[in-house]
Amino acid sequence: MIQLSKILKSVPIFHTLGKESIDFIIQRLKFKTFGPNETVCKIGDPGDEMYIIINGEVKICVYDEQGNETVVATLKAGEYFGEMALLTGEPRSASVITTKDSEMFALHKNDFDVILERFPSISISIGKIMSQRLRETLAKASHLPNVNKLETGQQGPRGSLKDVPLVDLIRFCEANSLTGTVKLDKNGEQGQLEFKAGQLQKVSLGNLTEDQALDTMISWTDGNFEIELKPIKLDGLVEDKTETKEQLKIRHILILINSLVVQKIIERALNGLGYKVFKARNISDGLDLMEKEDIHLIISDIKLPDGEAGALIEQIRKQNENPIIFLGEPNIKEEVLTPIKKSSGVKITNSHEVSEIVQLIEHFNQNG
């Protein structure tokens, strides 16, 4: 068990999790071994497992109509695959084939769902990587005709409708569960198709009805297209942190914690999620900071050098109604707990785990 938790902790998406969380995940993993050249996932098949590579290597392959293989990526120890089918419910977007002897952990969809719900920080990181993968696969996909004529720019792939007709673009967006907009331009006439998780949501071209717009654009044999990808939302979370944090109420967080080490761990995790962090080690410095800076939430020790939770809540409430998260600790006296339980906008964690803190921040973001 100790060995397994070490391996799992070295996987980037699990970095921020504490021992208890890692143990929770380990109980749900199945250990599997593969020889070289074994197909772990087959493109088009339904998928109910994702895999974390412990050691070895896999290639991610897509195929054109003639069956020619394009390797869109190679993944090694610490990386994972197979998450897309679990998140989207769509068939496997690529084949995954081992290139060496490989050892992996497999995680079933049911357990994957439980883990994402319990540790939302993982879904943020998975969502971000999934969006990058889609971009890469889209750029390299060989089943689009004349794909070498596609250019991948800042906005996503673009090219000519002569090379890639709209019907193929639609098929491609559906097959890859794309969220984004296909923009078409024929001699200045501009239309667009919006997709959400591979489903066509809206078609527009001038004043035409959606049916007319689609019929017209499908018949275009020349003109240009551009695919603009949007970040994918996962259960209310957006994986692109720059956009997310602009939209969220809570963006600036004060960490009011006496231990510099705990301060640092939480600061690093929150910075990684795109929050701006301010730090203080006692109530008086914290209150000073709150007067000067635009702070939206406070994460605090229950006991600080110049006072306990009750005193802190009282002082803060004289200034603002910002949510406060206290870091729980064992054997807290009832008189210390009472003001925490009674005050509105105040929560306490069961542990010092970053995932639990993030969950509470998200709670305040959603519920105010």
Instruction: Say whether residue 72 binds ligand CMP (CB under 6 A).
Output: yes
Cβ(125)–Cβ(79) under 8 Å? no
- Beta strands 189-196 and 199-205: pairing type? antiparallel
Sole binder of ligand CMP in the list 85, 166, 178, 295 (CB under 6 A): 85
Q: Which stretch binds ligand CMP (CB under 6 A): 20-28, 74-82, 149-157, 309-317?
A: 74-82
Closest C-alpha among 221, 246, 88, 118 to residue 165: 221
Contact string (CB under 6 A) for ligand CMP, positions 246-265, x = contact: --------------------
* 96/354 with CB nearer ligand CMP: 96
Q: What's the CA dihedral at 352, 273, 54, 110 to 10 degrees?
A: 80
**Token pair listed for 247:** 């939209």
Sole binder of ligand CMP in the list 13, 54, 94, 115 (CB under 6 A): 94
Sole binder of ligand CMP in the list 26, 73, 336, 360 (CB under 6 A): 73
* 133/296 with CB nearer ligand CMP: 133
Q: How far is CA 178 from CA 4, 93, 194, 228, in A?
A: 35, 11, 10, 10
Closest C-alpha among 52, 109, 39, 57 to residue 81: 52
Closest C-alpha among 367, 79, 282 to residue 344: 367
Q: Which stretch binds ligand CMP (CB under 6 A): 70-78, 220-228, 261-269, 333-341?
A: 70-78
* 43/200 with CB nearer ligand CMP: 43
Cβ(65)–Cβ(139) under 8 Å? no
Q: Which stretch binds ligand CMP (CB under 6 A): 20-28, 85-93, 113-121, 290-298?
A: 85-93
- Beta strands 102-108 and 49-55: pairing type? antiparallel
Minimum CB distance to ligand CMP, residue 140 (Å): 7
* 48/314 with CB nearer ligand CMP: 48
CA-CA distance, 338 to 259, in Å (whole number)? 24
> How are strands ordered across the β-sheet holding 49-55?
29-34, 102-108, 49-55, 80-81
Minimum CB distance to ligand CMP, residue 108 (Å): 13
Cβ neighbors of 7 (< 8 A, separation 6 or more) are 54
* 47/286 with CB nearer ligand CMP: 47
**Token pair listed for 292:** 């000067």
Contact string (CB under 6 A) for ligand CMP, positions 2-41, x = contact: ---------------------------------------x
Cβ neighbors of 193 (< 8 A, separation 6 or more) are 166, 170, 173, 181, 182, 184, 200, 202, 203, 214, 217
Sole binder of ligand CMP in the list 8, 11, 29, 84 (CB under 6 A): 84
- Beta strands 252-256 and 224-229: pairing type? unpaired
Minimum CB distance to ligand CMP, residue 210 (Å): 29
Sole binder of ligand CMP in the list 11, 54, 92, 296 (CB under 6 A): 92
Q: How far is CA 96 from CA 7, 39, 154, 163, in A?
A: 22, 6, 28, 28
Instruction: Say whether residue 235 binds ligand CMP (CB under 6 A).
Output: no
Sole binder of ligand CMP in the list 8, 52, 60, 313 (CB under 6 A): 60
Residues 96-155 that bind ligand CMP (CB under 6 A): 96, 133, 136-137
Minimum CB distance to ligand CMP, residue 176 (Å): 9
Instruction: Say whether residue 48 binds ligand CMP (CB under 6 A).
Output: no
Count residues binding ligand CMP (CB under 6 A).
18
Q: Which stretch binds ligand CMP (CB under 6 A): 3-11, 83-91, 163-171, 330-338?
A: 83-91
Q: Which stretches of the chain bind ligand CMP, using CB under 6 A?
A: 41, 47, 60, 72-73, 75, 81-85, 92-94, 96, 133, 136-137
